[in-house]
Amino acid sequence: MKIASFKAGQTATYGLVTTAGIVDAGKRLKQWPTLKTLLANGSLDALKALQGERPDYALAEIELLPTVPDPDKIFCIGVNYATHLAESGHPTPPHPMIFTRFANSQVGGGQPMIRPLESERFDYEGEMAVIIGKAGRRISREAALAHVAGYACYNDGSIRDWQRHTSQFAPGKNFVGTGGFGPWMVTTDEIPDISKQTIATRLNGVEVQAAPISDLVFDVPALIAYCSTFTELVPGDVIVTGTAGGVGAYRTPPLWMKDGDVVEVEVSGIGVLRNPVKDEVAAAATRAA
């Protein structure tokens, strides 16, 4: 199943994405008004019964939200592809390099990623995100994938100068509206082995990143095992697994995203996360209009 969170008018909800449109699950499953509450109750199967329903909206009629708009935790993994390790000059780390994002740093598919007033060094990072569906602590590698609800595309948009103010990445990763998450989640029954998929990033139609998911230094089971050791993973948590080589910061000259650009992240078997890029001033003017 493809499951998206979205707004219809002023109402935030979620539903099944089909070739004909989107079925509003929040309207039908009122006891679980959000995707996070559905996952927390272990009720993904309730969506299967809606697969024959007539769609409520065409995709063009709704505004996509981040796949999980209200996650309890968002863990991002740094330098987790061999090609990105090589271009950054980092040695292979003995443990996953982890930083966190906040929910308000994310936007949904089709929504503008915002280049803030404070910097012009706005970089793309195409990634694959893991959405947790079952809670657990100290999850073994062998049991890890049973805790996954599905996968989505992610763009870990980075304000590079702020990221490098210190050894802690968080300031450069948490400007409001700088990360893309979506356009939807694809459940694990459709992708039984995520390592067989590929990822690519395009800026204005030009491919700037490409890699097989199997190139991850720490794969999905390893990341779940590690993160669940120091904290409990709960339904709706997100693990953003890292980006491949080709980021703008390591190009000569550097390639920064700017107002008017369009950036796409595609993961095979999932879809394409497409976001325009807007300067903060331009974005504010659009909202005011």
Q: Reply yes or no on whether the pLDDT at 275 is more than 90.
A: yes
288 found inside a domain: no
Asked whether residue 27 falls in the same domain as residue 144, the answer is no
Mean per-residue pLDDT for 241-258? 96
Q: Residue 155: beta bridge partners?
A: 126, 180
CA–CA separation, 289 and 284 (whole Å): 9
Q: Residue 11 in 3-state DSSP?
A: strand
> Per the structure, how many domains does the chain have?
2
Asked whether residue 167 falls in the same domain as residue 191, the answer is yes
Mean per-residue pLDDT for 250-269? 97
CA–CA separation, 52 and 37 (whole Å): 22
pLDDT score recorded for residue 282: 65
31 found inside a domain: yes
35, 37, 173 from 133: Cα distances, Å: 10, 10, 25
pLDDT score recorded for residue 283: 65
DSSP collapsed to 3 states, 35-77: HHHHHHCCCCHHHHCCCCCCCCECHHHCEECCCCCCCCCEEEE
Write the CATH number for 85: 3.90.850.10
Q: What angle do CA 152, 153, 157 make, to 5 degrees?
A: 135
Give the end of a domain, one of 29, 45, 64: 64
Mean per-residue pLDDT for 56-65? 96
pLDDT score recorded for residue 86: 84
pLDDT score recorded for residue 256: 98
285 found inside a domain: no
Mean per-residue pLDDT for 258-271? 98
| Residue scoring higher pLDDT (201 or 89) | 201
List the domain range (segments joined by +) for residue 42.
2-64
pLDDT score recorded for residue 284: 64
Asked whether residue 46 falls in the same domain as residue 172, the answer is no
* Each residue's pLDDT tens digit, 81-138: 988 888 888 888 899 999 999 999 999 999 999 999 999 999 999 999 999 999 999 9
| Average per-residue pLDDT for the chain | 95
Q: What is the pTM of this model?
A: 0.95
Quote the DSSP letter at residue 172.
H
286 found inside a domain: no
Contact criterion met (CB below 8 Å) for 125 and 155:
yes
